[in-house]
A and B are shown apart, each in its own frame.
Chain A
Amino acid sequence: MGEFFHVPSDLQHSYLGLVGWHLEEALIPVLAGLLLALPLAQLCVRLRWLYPPVLWVTTVLYAIPSLAFFVVLINWTGQSEITVMIPLTLYSLVVLVPAIVDGVRSVPEETHAAATAMGFGPVRRYLQVELPIAVPAIFAGLRVATVSSISLVSVGALIGNQGALGNLLADSMFYHRPILAVSSVVTTAVLAMAVDALLVLCRRLLTPWTPPARERGRGAPVSVPAVAEEAR
């Protein structure tokens, strides 16, 4: 069991160091994606004609395999962390934009009208009415984006040891030590599930008005777009 946490010295990181690096490489892109997705989604809500082409572009971008993305970027950014983080940002954007647009669009017309009648300007209405109502949809998107980002960072190992926990996989092959691969897979999966659980908790804290009991039960609206876009 001790070998599970033992990282070969050529990776120049401790076990926890790899975990921290992995989180950094996976979460910064999701955050950047969210910051880009919010204004872009708002633009799509405002200009209806813009949404179908944006959706089309995102579907195409999402289909491009990560490895192809990474290696093409090497031309500009070299074999570095940035090369891994740019595609991950794009993938997050692809998941988040439809999630936010659907969320903001699901705000009932009456709610909208009530806010306007109370004298809310467009900015205040967006921040205090539309965004809070869209929180569950946004978090559904965030969960998919975060979990797939955490799993994809490992592929960075292929472009010159930029894969954090994924680098253990390369070492597992060089030294022929299956335990290193087990350690990488288990740690990545546990990390993904832990962050996922944390996001669910955040969602609950941010939206105390939603009933907590029927989280995933029968008839509960499991967000279908999120389910459909999970693969990568």
Chain B
Amino acid sequence: MSIFHFISDFFSQSAHWHGYDGIPQRLWEHIQYSMLAMAVATGVALPVGLVTGHTGRGGNALALLATAGRALPSFGLLVLLFVIIGLGLLPVMIPLVVLAIPPILVTTNEAVRSVDPAPVDAARGMGMRPLRILAQVELPVALPLILSGLRSAAIQIVSTATIAAYVSFGGLGRYIVDGLYQRDYEQVVGGATLVAGLALATLGAFWLAGRLAVSPGVRHR
């Protein structure tokens, strides 16, 4: 039986479309948790990245943070906090947020810092205040890179939220983890398809956001 049979079987069973363990419910959980983690991480990291990028300070500390963030194993952090804190939303939310902060922070800082100084000087010469320069000159020019940092963070969150099913988290990872325990390969492959689809949808959403939000003058391709 090929893998495509498993996939089509999984999606054609009506039992998989209703109730507490149904696809809509699990998909909604996954999106909800990912959005929450993304909102918290962005709320913390984006302003800090913008300000440190604008002032050009703290680059070394951020580089250190990036290395540390990359070295921390996401699955390990997840299990560790679960074992320490126990059942609940918090032990899963903390690692999701912690892992999403370094890519947003570092890329935003780097993006704002590497903005061409000529337009910034021109804006200053026109009498713009620092906050206005940041919002109206630096932010639009740095936006493509900032979005790529946000995209990395979002994709990381979606994929870590999948693994989080191992520590009793809802979402699409449930199908994979439960399927592995129940030796129900159809469910495993169905879950994997859904997770991959969600990750690709996230990618698509960011591509669309880039098309809509980035000024045509900045877009280089």
Residues of A within 8 A of B (CB): 59-60, 62-69, 71-72, 74-75, 144, 147-148, 150-152, 154-155, 157-160, 163, 165-166, 169-170, 172-173, 176-178, 181-182, 184-185, 188-189, 192-193, 196, 216-218, 222, 224, 227-232
Contact = CB atoms under 8 A, between A and B. Distances in A.
B71 A193 contact: yes
Contacts of B68: 189, 193
> Which 8 residue pairs across A and B have the least CB separation, nearest first?
A65-B159, A231-B152, A231-B156, A68-B192, A185-B76, A192-B71, A181-B80, A151-B73
B102 interface: yes
B134 interface: no
Interface of B: 3, 6, 56, 59-60, 63, 66-77, 79-80, 82-84, 99-100, 102-103, 106-107, 110-111, 114, 145, 148-149, 152-153, 155-156, 158-159, 162-163, 166-167, 173, 176-177, 179-180, 185, 188-189, 191-193, 195-196, 199-200, 202-203
A75 B6 CA distance: 10
Given A157-B75, A181-B76, A218-B56, A224 B159 contact: no
A196 B79 CA distance: 24
A148 B84 CA distance: 25
Given A71-B176, A169-B76, A196-B67, 17 more contacts: A63-B200, A65-B158, A65-B199, A67-B192, A144-B70, A147-B70, A154-B75, A158-B166, A163-B75, A172-B83, A176-B83, A178-B83, A189-B72, A216-B60, A230-B103, A230-B152, A232-B156
Contact of B71 (A68, A157, A196): A196
Pick from A148, A170, A182, A189 the residue with the most CB of B within 10 Å: A189
Contact of B163 (A63, A67, A229): A67
A148 B107 contact: no
B221 to A, nearest CB: 9
17 contacts: A60-B203, A63-B155, A64-B199, A74-B185, A144-B70, A148-B70, A152-B73, A154-B76, A155-B163, A158-B177, A172-B83, A173-B79, A184-B76, A185-B80, A189-B68, A218-B59, A230-B70
Given A68-B196, A74-B185, A173 B75 contact: no
B70 A154 contact: no
Which secondary structure dominates where chain B touches chain A?
helix
Nearest to B155: A63
B102 A230 contact: yes
B3 A228 contact: no
B82 A151 contact: no
Contacts of B102: 230
B63 A71 contact: no
Nearest to B81: A181
A75 B3 contact: yes
B70 A151 contact: yes
A229 B152 contact: yes
A193 B67 CA distance: 8
B67 A151 contact: no
Given A67-B192, A158-B166, A185-B77, A192 B152 contact: no
A72 B173 contact: no
Nearest to A155: B75
Contacts of B173: 67
A178 B103 contact: no
Contacts of A217: 59-60
Contacts of A147: 67, 70-71
B63 A189 contact: no
A201 B73 CA distance: 23
B189 A72 contact: yes
Contact of B76 (A69, A159, A188): A188
Given A154-B75, A166-B75, A231 B80 contact: no
A152 B75 CA distance: 8
Contacts of B152: 228-231
